[in-house]
Structure 1
């Protein structure tokens, strides 16, 4: 901040502060003539430039509004398309889940049926194998019994027992 003490002598030496209303000393008349001439002669030139600039700005604004309206319409159309696509994607996803669930249930059903068939086949195979083994054991037991009987028979059969066995066999054949 400048101290006021050096300014006070400067202002006092010039006689103070005041306004000069003399039109010839202040060149107000010359300035008025120059400004009026500029306004008169440049009005058409500057007015034309300003009018062309105003028209260009209005055309740019109109073009921008048209592009904004077109962009808004395109955005609305794209948003509708997006909503349709999302709905279609949701339907496809739901259909896919339903189809996957149906396939899973069908697969489980086939697996259970296949397991039941395999269990039944194995039980059948087990029964047939048991029957085969039982028949083989019977044949083997019969063969062993016959061999044992044939081995012990000559020592047990004397002439009298042999005659009795032949007579019984003939009688059983005659009764049949």
Structure 2
């Protein structure tokens, strides 16, 4: 039993005769295939190459548009950030001005309240002083009137009345 029957035969060797080896037929078939398929495969490959080039041009155009849109969006973002910063600064300055104005108004109101309270306290103190003076004068007059009849005799009363009338004429 032989595993390689071709190697076991005695006619093993190389044949260089082109007619017996079908090299001419193979050359003709390969040539015809190349000639017929060149147009067919060449057309397919050319269409494919054109489609790929068109896709690349479209991709480059889209890349260019996207780059332009990106740069435009970045400039708009930068403008928006500047505007936001400006608004933030204006808001802070307005808030500071409102706070300072509120403080001034509060201080003014507190000062007027203090002045009003002081004026009220002074008026109340003056009213109390006047009331105390009236009460003291009334008490002194009442005491003098109650003590006077026992202390004054007729002659002293007439001197007092004369002095009072003289004072009234001078005034």
**Counterpart in 2 of 1:119?**
114
Aligned residue pairs: how many?
A: 167
CA RMSD, 1 decimal: 2.7
**Counterpart in 2 of 1:157?**
152
**Counterpart in 1 of 2:30?**
35
**Which of 14, 18, 43 pairs up with 2:7?**
14
Please identify, of 85-94 and 28-37, the stretch whose mean Cα deviation from structure 2 is larger.
Answer: 28-37
**Which of 51, 58, 79 pairs up with 2:53?**
58
Distance change (3 Å), C-alpha of 1:132 and 1:63: same
Distance change (3 Å), C-alpha of 1:37 and 1:54: same
- Which digits, 9 at most, give the CA deviation of each residue in 1:9-38, with x for residues without a partner? 8569935xx974445665444333222221
C-alpha displacement of 1:42: 1.7
Distance change (3 Å), C-alpha of 1:175 and 1:42: closer
Distance change (3 Å), C-alpha of 1:40 and 1:88: same
Distance change (3 Å), C-alpha of 1:175 and 1:94: closer
What is the CA–CA distance in structure 1 between the aligned matches of 2:35 and 2:146, rounded to whole Å? 160
Distance change (3 Å), C-alpha of 1:138 and 1:40: same
What is the CA–CA distance in structure 1 between the aligned matches of 2:47 and 2:6, rounded to whole Å? 55
Distance change (3 Å), C-alpha of 1:172 and 1:127: closer
The answer on 1:87 being equivalent to 2:61 is: no
What is the CA–CA distance in structure 1 between the aligned matches of 2:170 and 2:55, rounded to whole Å? 133
C-alpha displacement of 1:134: 0.9
What is the CA–CA distance in structure 1 between the aligned matches of 2:140 and 2:120, rounded to whole Å? 30
**Which runs of no fewer than 5 residues in structure 1 stay unpaired?**
1-8
Distance change (3 Å), C-alpha of 1:54 and 1:170: closer
The answer on 1:69 being equivalent to 2:69 is: no
Distance change (3 Å), C-alpha of 1:70 and 1:102: same
- Normalised by the length of structure 2, the TM-score is 0.82
- Normalised by the length of structure 1, the TM-score is 0.80
**Counterpart in 2 of 1:49?**
44
